Amino acid sequence: MQTVDIDLAERSYSVYIGSGILGNAHPAFEIAPGSTALIVSNETIAPLYLDKLCKSLAGANVHSLILPDGETYKNVGHWTQIIDKLIDIRATRDATIFTLGGGVIGDMGGFAAASYMRGIDFIQIPTSLLAQVDASVGGKTGFNHPHGKNLIGAFHQPRAVLVDIDTLETLPEREFSAGLSEVVKIAAIRDAEILAWLEDNSAAIMARVPDVVTSMIKRSIANKATVVAEEEREAGVRALLNFGHSFAHALETLTDYHQYLHGEAVSIGMMVATRLSEIRGLCDTGFSGRLGALLQSYNLPLDLPAELDSDDIL
Ligand SMILES: NC(=O)c1ccc[n+]([C@@H]2O[C@H](COP(=O)([O-])OP(=O)(O)OC[C@H]3O[C@@H](n4cnc5c(N)ncnc54)[C@H](O)[C@@H]3O)[C@@H](O)[C@H]2O)c1
Ligand SMILES: [Zn+2]
């Protein structure tokens, strides 16, 4: 098992990455005997992994809440369901929420933890690649408002993040590729060495070779963690994590969030931002070709759909 420490003073915690974590006695599962654990998951992931997690938490007073699957359910109604459940099981301030799922479950469960009784502990168990390398690190929690994504939320750091790479075995190919888009983003903004490594190892990555995937996730988290920690001292560094996201958000909005997964929109967004930077002389000429080849090797789209109007995008 590999570990990345997230250095945030008294809110520091560790991310554990490896195989077989869910079914094993991990220190993060050792919550006080008889204390309350609420597992929040969704209809797709619970049938696959909930039993395993429940067994690992034996000894605690374990409850679960299974929400419907999808970004459209990341809203006030489903956040309220989590709060209702906590009240229903008489959870007190020493209860812990375990979020078992992708970024949707992590963000919403994390915000329930941030807000219930002014804040209780939570442990992230991200199961999508995107959540493992991006959403589960940094402490951003929340849900969507009809007027915009993630408009309601809070910063609330988890007590630990457990990345069991075995869960990737059931992740659909398209979702896996979408996660790789954020992996490329994190490399492109600050780590030339890993960018080259991602190029050299693309076949092994696409084949999900466990050791290769573990190294990739560890390095991505370490990079994001450094940016998140620097932000506490240096305002604005975190904006680097938005590489490609301005164009991606325009694309997602104009296609009503139906046509592209977030990572796919980010892939196109990074290409547009890079081509623009080349034209303006802000990055090396030819970098868009290199970036495009890498994204393409991960089956990610590169180009804006022809039917979109550039004025609408602007
Ligand atoms: N907090 C942050 O810093 C941050 C960063 C990036 C994204 N996000 C948020 O994360 C969300 C996107 O995350 P996501 O891409 O994980 O979406 P998601 O949670 O909707 O998961 C994607 C799909 O994969 C399924 N899935 C997940 N793990 C699986 C597994 N192991 N096996 C089979 N199916 C599995 C899910 O059920 C879902 O259908 C967005 O809401 C976004 O706003 C948050
Ligand atoms: Zn993103």
DSSP state of 129: H
For range 48-71, the mean pLDDT: 94
Question: Which two three-digit tokens encode residue 18?
Answer: 């490896």
261-284 pLDDT per residue, tens? 999 999 999 999 999 999 999 999
The angle that helices 287-297 and 262-279 make with each other, rounded to 10 degrees, is: 160
CA nearest ligand 1 atom 12, residue = 103
70-103 pLDDT per residue, tens? 999 999 999 999 999 999 999 999 999 999 999 9
112-166 pLDDT per residue, tens? 999 999 999 999 999 999 999 999 988 999 999 998 889 999 999 999 999 999 9
Please give the Cα distance from 55 to 63 (Å, whole number).
12
HSE of 270, CA atoms in CB hemisphere, 13 A: 33
Question: What share of the chain has pLDDT > 70, as a percent?
Answer: 98
Contacts (Cβ under 8 Å, ≥6 apart) of 146: none
Contacts (Cβ under 8 Å, ≥6 apart) of 14: 3, 4, 5, 6, 160, 161
For range 16-29, the mean pLDDT: 86
Helix (H/G/I), strand (E/B), else coil: 63: strand
Residue 308 sits at φ, ψ, to 5 deg, of: -80, 140
> Which of 15, 99, 105, 107 for a ligand 1 pocket mutation test, highest count of atoms within 8 Å of Cβ?
107
pLDDT bucket at 232, cuts 50 / 70 / 90: low
Phi-psi region of 20 (alpha: psi -120 to 50; beta: other; left: phi over 0): left
- Report whether pLDDT(240) > 90: no
How far does the centroid of ligand 1 lie from the alpha carbon of residue 295, in Å? 20
Residue carrying the six token digits 């609420």: 38
